[in-house]
Chains A and B, each alone.
Chain A
Amino acid sequence: MPLSILLPMVVLGIAGIAVLLHVLGLSRRATLSDAAAARAAWLREFPEDAPTQVILCRNHSAALIETAQGRGVVWPMGADTTARYLRGARVRRRKAGLTLDLPDYTAPRIRLTLSPDEAASWCALLESRV
């Protein structure tokens, strides 16, 4: 197929599908319904390291996890979730919450949406024991 046809078709196809998905409401992020859901999301990634404490943020978009092996975070990846330990994390305040910079090529930056007072308390917590 000539590139003059292939290229526009690929560009329009990708853009069209992405727009359609967004219009259909399929850009919604996952939420963690309760602490049990956050715990399950953590165990899905680290089944051998059960949480000893779960701190779910108020808008249910993320959770801090305490385990025997250290502290971690669960957060939405689109309609699903993932999780990481916070070893070596750098915590930064931003307008809408916190940014966690990790030394991890597969999860370099986690943006947590938190209310100002919640961001302050999470920041203090993380900076004290990361």
Chain B
Amino acid sequence: MSDTLTYPDVVNWAVPLFIAAILAELVWIVIKGRGGRYETRDALTSLLLGAGNVAEGIVLGFVAYGFFMVLWEITPLDLGHSVWVIALCFVLDDLRYYWVHRFGHRIRWVWASHVNHHSSQHYNLTTALRQTWTGTFTFMMAVRAPLILLGFHPAMVLFVGGLNLIYQFWIHTEAIGRLPRWVEAVMNTPSHHRVHHGRNPRYLDCNYAGVFIIWDKMFGTFVPELEREKVDYGLVHNLGTFNPLRVAFHEWIGIWRDATQPGLTWRERLMYCVMPPGWSHDNSRGTSEAIKARYLATHPEEAGTPGLPRPTAHNP
């Protein structure tokens, strides 16, 4: 079984591309006066979080890689490294990304890591680089285990994961409107991903795709960008700081404070870690479902429109 397969660290090699594309988007916005917004401190925070993410990969990358290599030793399967195997690995890893991303919005422990990516009120190419510093601690590396056990080499899995991340960079822009219909039907695009970054009730918890939007359509989480409802970017409760340390760790602090409140049962403490963001033992907060329901209470005519539930017997 081959264990010396190597691929380029594509994310690091893409750094010059990231810088050039940010400059190009900025020039476009300044010259055209449309296509997005930039603000110094917001962009600086995003870039520092991106740099921290690269540093975290250098410092803690061995944890995931070590785990993958143990699995690689265990598995009797080896699919080799032909172009077709790499292509298949890319598609299956994108399915893996969909579920990790969905968990990232529905399990607070994982959301604590992912939230900083959504913490900007802007949506430009620097937002793409606003990445987690704490991904290792979510243990979401486990979702990649089936790929390795199926015989995809760990280096290949990490390589296609890097390509996936690079693909997602360019969709963080308002400078591109809608792409041709077939592209919008199959691929994740700026339009689809703008919706994912929305804090509007209808746009919460949807469009988790990395590269192929088909996963959202298959699993019922697709919401199209509506002309009549502009995306409002950011968090349900926007941050009041640009400090990268606070942005990177605030939800972990929130979990700690919630789970260590006096007077809770052990089950309630656990629920603060694993239930969706907004869950609370006394219902004093609101999950995305509650936010959508409250929105529908004042906008009943919107029930059943994209991203908002239809009335049911339980919720007339």
Interface size on A, residues (CB 8 A): 34
Give the distance to chain A from B208, nearest Cβ to Cβ, in Å. 24
Give the distance to chain B from A86, nearest Cβ to Cβ, in Å. 12
Say yes or no: B254 contacts A105, CB within 8 Å.
yes
Interface size class of B (residues with CB under 8 A): 35 or more
Confirm or deny: B221 has a beta carbon within 8 angstroms of a beta carbon on chain A: no
Say yes or no: B54 contacts A48, CB within 8 Å.
no
Say yes or no: A27 contacts B253, CB within 8 Å.
no
Q: A125 — which chain B residues lie within 8 A by C-beta?
A: none
Say yes or no: B15 contacts A22, CB within 8 Å.
no
Confirm or deny: A31 has a beta carbon within 8 angstroms of a beta carbon on chain B: no
Most interface-central of A22, A26, A105, A110 (chain B CB within 10 A): A105
Q: A105 — which chain B residues lie within 8 A by C-beta?
A: 246, 250, 253-254
Say yes or no: B294 contacts A27, CB within 8 Å.
no
Interface residues of B (CB under 8 A from A): 9, 12-13, 15-16, 18-19, 22-23, 26, 30, 37-44, 47-48, 51, 54, 58, 121-122, 126, 232, 234, 237-242, 246, 250, 253-254, 294-295
New contact pairs (13) apart from A80-B122, A106-B239, CB-CB < 8 Å:
A3-B58, A9-B19, A14-B44, A14-B47, A17-B19, A17-B26, A17-B126, A18-B43, A21-B26, A78-B40, A79-B122, A105-B253, A105-B254
Some 26 contacts from A to B, beta carbons below 8 A apart, are A1-B15, A3-B58, A13-B19, A14-B44, A16-B19, A17-B23, A17-B26, A18-B44, A18-B47, A20-B26, A27-B41, A45-B237, A48-B294, A77-B121, A77-B238, A78-B41, A78-B42, A78-B121, A78-B242, A80-B39, A82-B238, A82-B240, A102-B240, A105-B253, A106-B241, A108-B240
